């Protein structure tokens, strides 16, 4: 292998900072305003649910939470009676 095709660690150039890290300079007000501009830009990309989808999802969540509450309540009452029967 010839020395012209071999790359030494000393020949490697240090990585350049990315544009995102280069833009972090500026005062706190400038960074805060940039943050809010980016949040608004991202929120404009969101696909918002229709009213029908929103109602459907809400009903599904309410039913799921009700079932889980009933399950935990039933288990709590059952274990309470079991402990009372065993230790009383």
**Per the domain annotation, does 18 fall within a domain?**
no
pTM, 2 dp = 0.53
Q: What is the pLDDT of residue 47?
A: 93
Of 17, 34, 16, 18, the C-alpha closest to 26 is 34
Instruction: Convert 20-57 to b/e letters by CB count within 10 Å (16 or more is b).
Output: eeeeeeeeeeeeeeeeeeeeeeeeeeeeeeeeeeeeee
**Per the domain annotation, does 10 fall within a domain?**
no
Q: What domain count does the chain have?
A: 1
Q: What is the pLDDT of residue 26?
A: 82
Range of the domain at 62: 48-88
pLDDT in tens, 24-74: 568 999 999 999 999 999 999 999 999 999 999 999 999 999 999 999 999
Give 88 or 42, the one with higher predicted confidence: 42
Report whether 79 contacts 86 (CB < 8 A).
Answer: no
């Amino acid at each position: 292998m010839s020395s012209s095709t071999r790359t030494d660690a000393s020949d490697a150039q240090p990585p350049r900072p990315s544009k995102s890290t280069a833009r972090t300079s500026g005062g706190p007000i400038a960074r805060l305003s940039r943050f809010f501009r980016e949040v608004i830009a991202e929120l404009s990309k969101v696909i918002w649910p229709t009213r029908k989808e929103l109602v459907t999802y809400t009903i599904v969540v309410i039913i799921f939470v009700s079932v889980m509450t009933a399950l935990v309540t039933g288990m709590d009452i059952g274990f309470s009676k079991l402990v009372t029967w065993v230790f009383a």
